[in-house]
Amino acid sequence: MLTSYLYTCICIATSSLVSAQYPPDEKSVTVRELEHLYLDASPNSLKSMITPCSQYVDSSTGLIDNKFGRQTAAEWIRVAFHDFVTGNIYTDIGGLDASIGFETANGENKGTAFNDALINFSYYFSKAVSMADLIALGTVMSAGHCGGTPVPLRGGRIDATAAGPKGVPQPEQGLQDQLTRFASVGFNRDDTIALTACGHTLGGVHKKDFPDVINGNSTATQEGSDGRVAFDKTVSGFDNAHVTEYLDGSGEKGGPLVTTTNTTVQSDLRLFSSDNNATMQRLAQSNSYFTSQCSSLFSRMIETVPGAVRFTSGVSPTSSSFLKPATLYLNLDSKGNMALAGFFRYIQVTGAAKAPANLKINLVDRNGKTAPISTNAKKSDADKGTGIFGPTYHYPFTMKFPATTGLSGLSANDQTFTLQDTMFVVIGMSSLSPMPPPFVPTPAMGASQTYTGNLTVAVRAPILSFSSPYLHNNNNHLI
């Protein structure tokens, strides 16, 4: 089945101060957007591109197309690895910074993985989330969704504006050259072996990209028109089968970078056996140990960044964050009444209480006190899904209250969520005319339609009065 992932939206660009009812803070905006991309389970989410983990989304068409023998989840991990590994922790240069976008033709990054990932990620790129954050998120989602232990995630990465240094390890390189390269990003030999094993638990090597490797595997099964030879028999499962098959000689026996008869490109064999297989034997002791080690190593990989980066807080549905408000809109009418609309998202993480049928939401007024205004939001049967951390439910609601009461937050389920009503776009008093025509989707990259219209935006904002020696805040002004 061919399913299109190309879609278009008409967006009104405003600053985070105006467009959100949350207190303006750049890092918190990044966290919220990453939470949305990572945790919400919508039909056009990033997760849908790797569901199931065996599928491939062809960036040249935006369609699921499995005839090539490629795998989007494996590509996402490979892109992060290639982006990070040319960094240097001793000079604070490079690392995971999306410089890979300028390096796809430098000879070290063969195959479609890089343009596939960058193009598919571009649909979710925004002022709040950098491309480097999206590359990190791709690794986190691939590992977590395909069977691995969840990888800690933070945002705040800064995108490079030019290519970084070369140095991605290649199959024909000697062992010492590879270990020296990994040492530059803070990984010792044991780390390097384990990270490589983690990266090779999904996907395989394609003859189209590495004929010297695959031609030396004449008896291996090639899949798809691009000739993939898998790393292990559970090609779409994030598990330690790659390790156990290497050690006991079963299945794919460690994959084509081990079994090829072309000794020049036996890079995995050289690396894995460099400590007499001690690291691989540790990784084989249990699947849970393997996935936990991969989680730790992937976390280090995606947090190897340029020195100027300042990370956000973590993005994870912990016991204090599996319930959160989202997509909030605050309106003000001509009679001085406010209306807040949106929904609460509830992720039923392991150990959390079952999602309630109804959620009581209380208003916290402008002075920080719980107001005698509340609403009971009903769990939506239509708007639900299954995310990486568990079932996701939504509770749509609308709450009306006098503008004189205002709001500084909402409380629900014994938690309080801070909001603000100082400055926001008043959607009910804003307009777009004429309305744009329906978008006609075209299954090709770069599809677009031109629209010209008039946009009127009403903004509620404080003004300063100079009628006295003091500055006064007027909270009822529309501009």
pLDDT tens sequence across 298-329: 999 999 999 999 999 998 876 556 888 888 88
Give residues with Cβ within 8 angstroms of 466, minimum separation 6. none
pLDDT score at 75: 98
User: What mean pLDDT is reported for the chain?
Assistant: 87
What is the pLDDT averaged over residues 238-266?
97
Is pLDDT above 90 for 475?
Answer: no
476/102: higher pLDDT:
102
Alpha-carbon dihedral sign for residues 161, 165, 169, 171: positive
DSSP string, 248-317: HT-TTTT-HHHH-S-GGG-HHHHHHGGGTTHHHHHHTS-HHHHHHHHHHHHHHHHT---TT-----B---
For residue 257, the one-letter residue type is L
Q: At 479, is the pLDDT very low, low, confident or very high (cuts 50, 70, 90)?
A: very low
Is pLDDT above 60 for 19?
Answer: no
pLDDT score at 448: 57
How far is the C-alpha of 135 from the C-alpha of 121, rounded, in Å?
8
Alpha-carbon dihedral sign for residues 192, 195, 201, 205: negative
Residue 60: closest CA among 8, 20, 14, 117: 117
Is pLDDT above 90 for 144?
Answer: yes
CB 253 within 8 A of CB 245: yes
pTM (two decimals): 0.82
What is the pLDDT averaged over residues 281-287?
98
pLDDT tens sequence across 55-70: 999 998 989 999 999 9
Is pLDDT above 50 for 79?
Answer: yes
What is the pLDDT averaged over residues 382-386?
76
Is pLDDT above 80 for 90?
Answer: yes
pLDDT tens sequence across 160-187: 999 999 999 999 999 999 999 999 999 9
Q: With H, G, I as helix, E, B as strand and everything else as coil, classify residue 93.
A: strand
